[in-house]
Structure formats: C-alpha cells, structure tokens
Amino acid sequence: MDFNFADRMGGLTGNAIREIFKYLSDPEMISFAGGMPNKQALPADILDGISRELFAGKGIYGILQYGSTEGYLPLRESAVEFVKGVGIDGAELKNTLIISGGQQGIDLACKVFLNKGDCVLVEDPTYIAVLHILKTYEAKAYGVKSDDDGMNTDDLEEKIKKYSPKFIYTVPTFGNPTGKTYPIEKRKKILELAVKYNVVVLEDDPYSRFRYEGQALPSIKSMDMTGHVIYNTSFSKIIAPALRCGICVADGEIISKMTLCKQATDVHTSTLSQALADGFLRGGYLEEHMKRILPIYADKKKLMKQAIKKYMPKDFESTDPSGGLFIFGGFKSGKETSKYFMEALKNKVAYVNGSDFFAAGDGKNTLRLNFTNSDDVQIDKGIKILGEIFAK
Amino acid sequence: MDFNFADRMGGLTGNAIREIFKYLSDPEMISFAGGMPNKQALPADILDGISRELFAGKGIYGILQYGSTEGYLPLRESAVEFVKGVGIDGAELKNTLIISGGQQGIDLACKVFLNKGDCVLVEDPTYIAVLHILKTYEAKAYGVKSDDDGMNTDDLEEKIKKYSPKFIYTVPTFGNPTGKTYPIEKRKKILELAVKYNVVVLEDDPYSRFRYEGQALPSIKSMDMTGHVIYNTSFSKIIAPALRCGICVADGEIISKMTLCKQATDVHTSTLSQALADGFLRGGYLEEHMKRILPIYADKKKLMKQAIKKYMPKDFESTDPSGGLFIFGGFKSGKETSKYFMEALKNKVAYVNGSDFFAAGDGKNTLRLNFTNSDDVQIDKGIKILGEIFAK
C-alpha cells in the first residue's frame, strides 16, 4: 500500500541517540553515547524489596487497576516533598502531574502550547530529543547563544522579540549536552524576561541531584511567582530509566491541560512504576543511594578528563562540569566529528555528534561524551581508541 | 499569567469516563462506568512470582536500564506468537511495536497519519477515547451507521467516498460500547473497501479473548495481504491495566513511523511492565488465567441482564453480547440518560452516558454499563437503584 502519512512525518528521522541505541546491544561496545546510568547505580535490590512489599500489601489490587491520569496519589504527595529539594516550596497536588519519564513532560507541554509553525527557543546546543519532539509538532526551534555559564540572556531577549516564542526550553543545571550550570543571576534574568514578554519557561531538570562539587542552586521554578515556569524532573537517572516515570510541576491551569493531553496518549503512567518510585522516596532510600553513586560518577568524570588529556588530539577542548552525566568537547581545528563516527562504531566506541544538539545543525566540530555508563577500564580504553581515530 | 494555549486545546474537555473516574475513589460507589477488570481477575500472585524471578535473574540490570523504543525483545517475540491467537500468522519483529497501553497505539496511528482537518470514520457509537484523541489532532470524526452486527458497510462505503478518511477505526470483536461482533463477511467487506479506496483500517482488539460463548473469529488483520490494517491489542484487560502495555502489529513502514513518534513521546514503555507481560505469556499463565476469569465474567453478565429485566423500565432495551465487558442500552421513549446521571452518582452508582460515544453526540437516550468490575451483590443493587431513578 502507498501510505498517505501526515505532513509532520516528512522531516522526521530518528533522534541520533536512539539510532545509536541499536548498536549498543553489542556487549563489546563501549558507549559514551546515551545518558545511561551505570549498572552499579541501578538499585535492583532496593526495588526488589519495595516490589515484594507492594505485592504483599492490601493495596496491590488498587495498584494493578486503572489509576487516575494525574498520577498515583501517594507519589504525587511524595513529589510535592521531593521538589522542595530544588527550592520549590509552594507546590500543591493540583500543581503536580506524574509523567511517563521526563520526555513525556516535554511532549505534553508541546501538545498544550504549540500550533504548527510556532516557535520555541532553546539553548544552542540543547537536549537532542527536544528538537525531535518539536518536529512532531511542526514547530520551529531557534537556538540561543550559549556562554560558558549557559544561555546568553541578551541573545535570548533579542530572539524573544524577533520570534515571539511560545516557550523557552532550558536545562539550567548540568545541561545536556554541555554540562553547564546557570548561575543564580542568569536564572533570575531568564525568569524576568519570561515575565516581561509573557513567555513560558520549560525548565528541564533531570540532573541537578548529580552534583559532584559546589553548592546547590535553586531551580528557576522556585523563584516563579507568576506561573510562567513548567518544571520537569525524572526518576530515570536517580532510580532507573526503565520505570519511565517523572514529575511535572506547573501552574494548575497548565497541569489540567497537560492532564487532558496525557489522558489521550497513555491514560496514566504505569502504576507499578509509580508505586516503586514512591516507595523509593518514601522509604528514604534516595539519600543513601545518591551518597553511594555520586563518588562513583565523580571518579568516572575525573578518569575521562584524564584520558582526554592523555589521548585526545591537542586541539580538542572539553567542558569540565561540576555535575551531570556529560562532557562536551570540540576540535578547534574544525575537524568534523560526524566523519569519524562510523569508524568509531566499527572500533566499538559510540559517542554522539555534537551537531545533532544544535537547532540549525551547527557545531560540526563537537561531540558529547557520557562518562557514567562505562566501566573505568572502558573509559580509558574507549577514549584511547577515539584519540587514535581523531588523530587521523 | 494569561496563557496562550494551542488551538487544539480549545474544544478539549476530559473524556467522560476519566472525569467519572475521580468519583470512583469513594469505596461505596458502584461503578458500571469504566472498563475495569474485577479485582478477582487481577493476577497479583502470578505477577508477584514473575517479578521475584526477574529481580533474582541476571537480566535485571538490562531490564532497569533504557530499552529500545520498539520494545523489550523477549516481549516482541512473545507478541508475534500471541497474535497468532487471532489468526495473524505472518507477523515478524519488524511488524511489532510494544505500546504503553492500547490507547497509545491509537494515539501513535493518529500522529503518523493525521494532519489538522483530516477525517476518520468510526462506528457510531465508538470507543470514547478515540473521539478525545482525534480532537488533540484537530481531526474530524464521522460516525458510520451501526447494524446489529456492527458497522453498516454500505454507509461505510458512502462515507469513504464522501469524506476521504485517513483511516477507519473499528473494534470488530465485542465492540466498545455496544459489545457487538462483526461476522466474518463484514470483516472481509471492510478490508475489501479499505483496499479499494486505499484507506487504512485501525483494528482495535482489547476484548476478543473475553468470549463467553460461540466460536472465535479471525481478526481483520489476519486477512490483510496488502498492509492496510493496523492491529492493536492490550494487556490491560487480560493481565492488568496498570502495566500500560500492549502490542501493535502493522506494515513495517507504519511501525517504523510509529516508532519515531513513540521515541518523541515516552522513549519506550516501562521495561518492568514489558518483562512482566512477557513472563505472563511465556510462562503459560494466560490460558489458565482466562479459564478462571471467563466463567466469572459470563456469570456477571447474566446477572446484570437479569437485574435489567427485573428493575429497569420496560422501554429500556439492551444488548446481550457474547463477550467483552459491556452492555449497551437505550430508552425507546427517548429518555435522556444524561439528565439522570448526577442523581445516579449521588446514589452511588456510575454509568456512562451513551451520547459520549457518538461522533456527533447522538444517542442521548443510551447508556453503557460495565459488568466486570462490580461484585455480584453490587450489580443487583446498582441496577435496582438505576431502575428506580430511571422510573422517575
């Protein structure tokens, strides 16, 4: 049959990370590609215990049944407590929606706000999946210049005036892909601009708990007095990606619209996932879990930085973020990373071409490296292989 | 803030069943509203056992990690076997996509095929959520007349010619809300029309395993030689709704487009849910489970039919389906069921107004009754209460 697909499918190709994902089933592959937690950081034993308790409890029939779209009530209650960790104190149940992973929060925000042709501003570079999601809404993404400490707010203001965006998407803490963290002044300025021009801010925060040094910063949402900020977070990195479970906190009107849209997509998030996440938070496991994994990840970052210094060509410059999962780098010589990608894969090392993170495909000399997923030996070995390939 | 929402949000109100859902937390409420399995039919012990095995196995770290968008490979393999039960023999892995509940299959099909303003044909009445989903795509739903044995194919052909629909949505076995089942000739005719006019058929099949009498019929997909049919099924009713897990089988090109769209919405379905569903199928639990619950549901249907005869006004006529979860009925006198709805809720009985299932809001004299969720005592009591209310 000759299918008559929707217009949105025209420009839609797979997001690069997901395409690379297919190669990762090869057990010999060293993957610096996805933002995957380390195997050691997956709390299988804790989840096993919580699961046994859930199945032994009287509530199990309620957990296995249909649930409300807004989410499993105990988890929504836990969510209200959880976001206090990033300074969000005033959230009530009506401001929370449980989402099927952080990405669904972005998708639902797009569904609620975007008409075909609408504009969204993103930091350049930005989270790759946002660019993919925006294509499914036939919306336009424009990149805002990035300074060493995040989005350039002069350029942001200029582009707000020029493009009248529906929202600004940002990962202000240990941003993806660069690992950059916006200082408090920048956070305030972005909120100020959002209020001044009446633009929504979609603050995506999957990484702020992964701080290896320095002081925690309040989220932009914590400073929001006018309802301009949608705050998204996820349990994928702090518990387990497979749960597909996260939290969205926003103005009640936005949450109720997002709920209507979620109703239409997956009815509700897996209640088992929600109950496991709730058990994890409520049982007080998070703190000890993070205490255990943070030093492991901090060491891995150090190891990767050392390996980069040792093996990568001298014109390769990379970030040294104080948290998160990624190092972002580029060749001052302008060497195009995509040209080396297939050879790297053949040599069993995966990374992500940096240009995939740019709204208009810039940054062809850049790449993103994840340091959390690999073993220490793999980090050294993988960067050595990349060093040899990029030396060519 | 004065939010500037997308156009699609304009006409979007909650789907009626989901709105009613909020009342159902009242433990005294007798719900004939949602299509909820009975508590007795939720296989908590089996899932507990499978879950323990998963957590004890070496594969648990793979299960907790990010998975591929297409789905957990063992479940995709099981899915290929599972759909043989409805006569689909030729499915390969490239034809299967694991979805986050049956509803996501509908949503993804819409995303892949529908532009704003596109038309979709549905049986009148049809599954309520489809009408809601279509609104989120700003698509138009047109109802096709329904005979006692399902969609009227003359009217279908006329409306295909008139509206040039992108697809035809149908639940041919124990349809929602009517419980009707299309005979094999009708299935063939629908497929024939789809091929003749090059229209896709979205065959939704959450209920065919719930046959209480008579012979099983092949799915429309099983007769599809040209790739015109998308087949959707779900584990919500046969295992547990909370898993949010189902299967879509379609032409490889459609599956790859749906996969791109799924990437953008929830990355992948909860792997824990997928592994539980796979364990259920692979462990051979399904057959014994269905053997146990089918007689319970068949008895409940009988009980509800008896109660209807005993308590409901004489001008109330209702279906007596040979399977599924619902009885659909209407007042010959034209009595509008929505006018009695709030009083029923106040008296702790919930149903769904039939007009919510009609593309253009017809059927104001009808209502849908679910017979699987309630206890036997509740069925008698609830219908008695409805009988008294509708006698007024």
Give pLDDT tens digits for A286-345. Answer: 999 999 999 999 999 999 999 999 999 999 999 999 999 999 999 999 999 999 999 999
User: Both tokens of residue A214?
Assistant: 């320095």
Neighbours of B197 (CB within 10 A): 15
The pLDDT value recorded for residue B26 is 84
As assigned by CATH, the class of the B65-285 domain is alpha beta
Domain boundaries, given as residue ranges, for chain B: 7-43+287-391, 65-285
Segment (H or E) for B326: strand B326-331
Under DSSP, the state recorded for B198 is T
Confidence of residue A13 (pLDDT cuts 50, 70, 90): confident
First to last CA, chain B: 47
Alpha helices in chain A (DSSP H): 16-21, 44-56, 60-64, 73-82, 102-113, 128-136, 153-163, 184-197, 252-265, 271-282, 285-311, 338-346, 376-391
CB contact under 8 A, A111 and B60: no
Q: Tell me the angle at which helices A102-113 and B252-265 cross, rounded to the nearest 10 degrees.
A: 90
CB contact under 8 A, B1 and A198: yes
State the Cα–Cα distance between residues A286 and A284, nearest whole angstrom: 6
On whether any CB of chain A is under 8 Å from the CB of B27, the answer is no
Identical fold between B7-43+287-391 and B65-285? no
Confidence of residue A11 (pLDDT cuts 50, 70, 90): confident
The pLDDT value recorded for residue A15 is 67
State the Cα–Cα distance between residues B98 and B91, nearest whole angstrom: 13
Q: Which of A297, A349, A289, A357 is nearest to A329 (CA)?
A: A357
Its pTM stands at 0.97
Kindly identify which residue of chain A lies nearest to residue B227, measuring between CA atoms. A1
The pLDDT value recorded for residue A315 is 96
On whether any CB of chain A is under 8 Å from the CB of B116, the answer is yes
State the Cα–Cα distance between residues A177 and B277, nearest whole angstrom: 35
On whether any CB of chain A is under 8 Å from the CB of B265, the answer is yes
CB contact under 8 A, B12 and A260: yes
A264 interaction partners in chain B (CB closer than 8 Å) = 15, 103, 107, 129, 132-133, 135-136
A44 interaction partners in chain B (CB closer than 8 Å) = 55, 60-61, 64
The pLDDT value recorded for residue A26 is 84
State the Cα–Cα distance between residues A159 and A143, nearest whole angstrom: 9
State the Cα–Cα distance between residues A1 and A7, nearest whole angstrom: 18
State the Cα–Cα distance between residues A84 and A210, nearest whole angstrom: 16
The pLDDT value recorded for residue B231 is 98
Segment (H or E) for A97: strand A96-99
Quickly tell me which residue has 């992500």 as its tokens: A352
Q: Which of B286, B363, B269 is nearest to A265 (CA)?
A: B269
Q: Tell me the angle at which helices A252-265 and B102-113 cross, rounded to the nearest 10 degrees.
A: 90
Task: Measure in Å the smallest separation between the Cα of B180 and chain A Cα atoms.
Answer: 24
On whether any CB of chain B is under 8 Å from the CB of A40, the answer is no
Task: Measure in Å the smallest separation between the Cα of B234 and chain A Cα atoms.
Answer: 12
A107 interaction partners in chain B (CB closer than 8 Å) = 264-266
On whether any CB of chain A is under 8 Å from the CB of B360, the answer is no
**Most A-contacting residue of B265, B289, B374 (CB-CB within 10 A), to test interface:** B265
CB contact under 8 A, B113 and A6: yes
Q: With beta carbons less than 8 A apart as the criterion, state whether B29 and B227 touch.
A: no
Q: With beta carbons less than 8 A apart as the criterion, state whether B26 and B348 touch.
A: yes
On whether any CB of chain B is under 8 Å from the CB of A265, the answer is yes
B12 interaction partners in chain A (CB closer than 8 Å) = 257, 260-261
pLDDT tens sequence across A65-89: 999 999 999 999 999 999 999 999 9
Cis peptide before A177 (omega within 30 of 0): yes
pLDDT tens sequence across A17-29: 767 777 777 889 9
State the Cα–Cα distance between residues A224 and A190, nearest whole angstrom: 11
On whether any CB of chain B is under 8 Å from the CB of A3, the answer is yes
Q: Mention every residue, 6+ apart, whose C-beta is less than 8 A from residue A374.
A: A30, A31, A32, A38, A300, A382
Burial of residue A43 (CB within 10 Å: 0-12, 13-18, 19+) is: buried
Measured in whole angstroms, the distance separating CA B256 from the mean position of its chain's CA atoms is: 23
Q: Which of A64, A6, A41, A38 is nearest to A274 (CA)?
A: A64
The pLDDT value recorded for residue B345 is 93
Q: What is the DSSP string of B253-317?
A: HHHHHHHHHHHHHTSS--HHHHHHHHHHHHTTHHHHHHHHHHHHHHHHHHHHHHHHHHHS-TTEE
Report the range of poorest mean pLDDT among A107-116, A254-263, A369-378, B8-17: B8-17
Task: Measure in Å the smallest separation between the Cα of A157 and chain B Cα atoms.
Answer: 19
Q: In the predicted model, what is the mean pLDDT of residues A119-129?
A: 97
Q: What is the DSSP string of A207-251?
A: STT-B-SS-----SGGG-SSS-EEEEEESTTTT-GGG--EEEE--
Task: Using CB atoms, pick whichever of A15, A65, A243 lies closest to residue B270.
Answer: A243
Side-chain half-sphere CA neighbours of A350 within 13 A: 23
Task: Measure in Å the smallest separation between the Cα of B28 and chain A Cα atoms.
Answer: 15
State the Cα–Cα distance between residues B57 and B281, nearest whole angstrom: 18
Mean pLDDT of successive 10-residue segments in chain B (392 residues)? 92 74 82 94 98 97 96 98 96 98 98 98 96 97 96 98 98 97 98 98 98 97 97 98 98 97 97 98 97 97 98 97 97 96 95 95 97 97 98 91
State the Cα–Cα distance between residues B64 and B57, nearest whole angstrom: 12
Strands (E), B73-151: 96-99, 119-123, 140-144, 146-147, 150-151
The pLDDT value recorded for residue B11 is 80
Burial of residue B39 (CB within 10 Å: 0-12, 13-18, 19+) is: middle
Tell me the longest C-alpha to C-alpha distance in chain B. 64
CB contact under 8 A, B200 and A261: no
The pLDDT value recorded for residue B15 is 67
Task: Using CB atoms, pick whichever of A60, A69, A240 lies closest to residue B44.
Answer: A60
Under DSSP, the state recorded for B337 is T
Side-chain half-sphere CA neighbours of B172 within 13 A: 28
Confidence of residue A351 (pLDDT cuts 50, 70, 90): very high
Q: Tell me the angle at which helices B128-136 and A252-265 cross, rounded to the nearest 10 degrees.
A: 120
CA dihedral A89, A240, A285, A294 (to 10 degrees): -90
B248: phi then psi, degrees, rounded to nearest 5: -120, 130
The matching CATH number, chosen from 3.40.1010.10, 3.40.50.300, 3.90.1150.10, 3.40.50.10490, for A7-43+287-391 is 3.90.1150.10
Quickly tell me which residue has 């199990």 as its tokens: A60
CB contact under 8 A, B5 and A112: yes
